[in-house]
C-alpha cells in the first residue's frame, strides 16, 4: 500500500499514468498547490522531448604530494577489498575526525543507485548512509516508487563526515572520487538518482543550480547510465512544500527506467 509513503511525500493521491512516448520535463516556475491532484500535476508538467546531455568522463584525481597515485588506485578492486580500502583510508584529513567510514548499503546488483552528499553525524556514528529523519524520508520516497530500501544501492560522494556538517572541500572530493567511481562500476546500475545539489554537481561536473538540473536527462561520465537530479531529503524536511516537486522528479526517473527497459 503506497498511500502512507505518498503522504510522507506530501502527495494526497497517486494515479499511475500510462507510459507516454517522451520523458516528463518538470516545470519549475509554475507552483503546484496542495489542492492539486496528481492528475492536475500533468497540466503543469508538459514537455517536449528532452535533449540528452552526455557528460565527459570523470577527471583524473589529483592527490597531495605525500600520496602516490598507485597507492590510491582502486580500479581493480572487488567489493571486499574496496570496502576495506575505504575503512583504512587516510588520504585526506577527514580520517582524523571520523568515527566510522560510511561505505554504502543495499543491493550490490541493484538497478537503482542513490547517491547523496556526505555522511552526517548520525551516519558517522552508525557507519550507514541515510539514517535518522532524512533516511526515513528517503525510505518513504523509495517506497512511494514501489521500491524497498534493500532493493537499491545507496552511497555518498564522501565516505567520511565533514566536521560541523560543513560542505566538503575540493581536495576531499577528489580523494573520494575513485571510491564512488568504482562503486558505480561494480553495481552497474540502470539509473542513478542524485539527491541534492552537491551530489549532482560532482557526478555531472556541472555548476548549475538544482533548479536548472531538475527534469533533464543526463548521463554519468561515458557510461551511458542515466542520472536524474532531485532534492536531498534533508532539504525536503526543511522545506516540505518542495516535496511535490521531488515527487515529479521521481516520476520522471521511473519513466526513464521503464523506457530503458522497453528499449533493452
pTM: 0.76
pLDDT tens profile 155-189:
999 999 999 989 899 999 999 999 999 999 999 99
Gap between the Cα atoms of 5 and 264, Å rounded: 30
Rounded Cα gap, residues 219 and 31, in angstroms: 28
pLDDT at 260: 80
**Confidence class for position 31, pLDDT limits 50, 70, 90:** very low
Long-range contacts, 207-215 (Cβ 8 Å, 24+): 211/28, 214/26, 214/28, 214/245, 214/249, 215/24, 215/25, 215/26, 215/27, 215/28, 215/47, 215/50, 215/248, 215/249, 215/252
Give the CATH number of domain 72-263: 3.40.470.10
Instruction: Report the C-alpha gap between 210 and 195 in whole angstroms.
Output: 10
pLDDT band at 58; cut points 50, 70, 90: very low
Long-range CB pairs of 243-246 (<8 Å, 24+ gap) are: 243/9, 243/10, 243/11, 244/9, 244/10, 244/11, 244/32, 244/34, 244/41, 245/26, 245/28, 245/32, 245/214, 246/9, 246/141
Selected residue with higher pLDDT from 3 and 180: 180
Instruction: Kindly tell me if the per-residue pLDDT of 9 is higher than 90.
Output: no
Taking the domains of the chain in order of start, what are their residue ranges? 72-263
In tens, the pLDDT along 79-96 reads: 999 999 999 999 999 999
DSSP 185: H
User: Greater confidence, 11 or 63?
Assistant: 11
Residue 168 contacts residue 198 (beta carbons within 8 Å): yes
Amino acid at each position: 500500500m503506497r498511500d502512507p509513503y505518498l503522504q510522507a511525500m506530501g502527495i494526497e493521491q497517486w494515479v499511475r499514468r500510462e507510459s507516454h512516448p517522451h520523458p516528463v520535463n518538470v516545470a519549475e516556475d509554475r507552483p503546484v498547490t496542495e489542492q492539486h491532484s496528481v492528475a492536475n500535476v500533468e497540466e503543469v508538467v508538459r514537455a517536449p522531448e528532452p535533449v540528452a546531455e552526455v557528460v565527459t568522463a570523470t577527471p583524473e584525481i589529483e592527490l597531495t604530494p605525500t600520496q602516490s597515485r598507485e597507492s590510491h588506485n582502486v580500479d581493480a578492486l572487488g567489493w571486499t577489498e574496496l570496502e576495506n580500502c575505504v575503512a583504512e583510508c587516510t588520504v585526506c584529513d577527514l580520517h582524523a575526525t571520523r568515527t566510522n567510514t560510511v561505505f554504502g548499503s543495499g543491493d550490490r546488483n541493484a538497478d537503482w543507485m542513490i547517491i547523496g552528499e556526505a555522511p552526517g553525524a548520525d551516519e558517522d556514528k552508525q557507519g550507514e548512509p541515510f539514517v535518522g529523519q532524512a533516511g526515513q524520508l528517503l525510505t518513504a520516497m523509495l517506497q512511494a516508487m514501489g521500491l524497498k530500501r534493500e532493493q537499491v544501492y545507496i552511497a555518498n560522494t564522501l565516505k567520511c563526515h565533514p566536521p560541523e556538517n560543513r560542505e566538503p572541500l575540493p581536495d576531499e572530493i577528489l580523494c573520494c572520487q575513485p571510491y564512488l567511481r568504482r562503486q558505480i562500476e561494480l553495481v552497474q546500475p540502470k539509473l542513478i538518482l542524485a539527491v541534492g545539489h552537491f551530489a549532482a554537481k560532482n557526478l555531472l561536473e556541472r555548476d548549475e543550480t538544482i533548479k536548472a538540473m531538475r527534469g533533464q536527462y543526463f548521463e554519468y561520465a561515458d557510461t551511458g547510465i542515466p542520472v536524474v537530479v532531485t532534492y536531498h531529503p534533508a532539504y525536503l524536511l526543511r522545506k516540505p512544500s518542495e516535496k511535490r516537486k521531488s515527487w515529479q522528479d521521481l516520476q520522471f526517473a521511473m519513466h526513464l527506467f521503464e523506457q530503458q527497459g522497453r528499449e533493452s
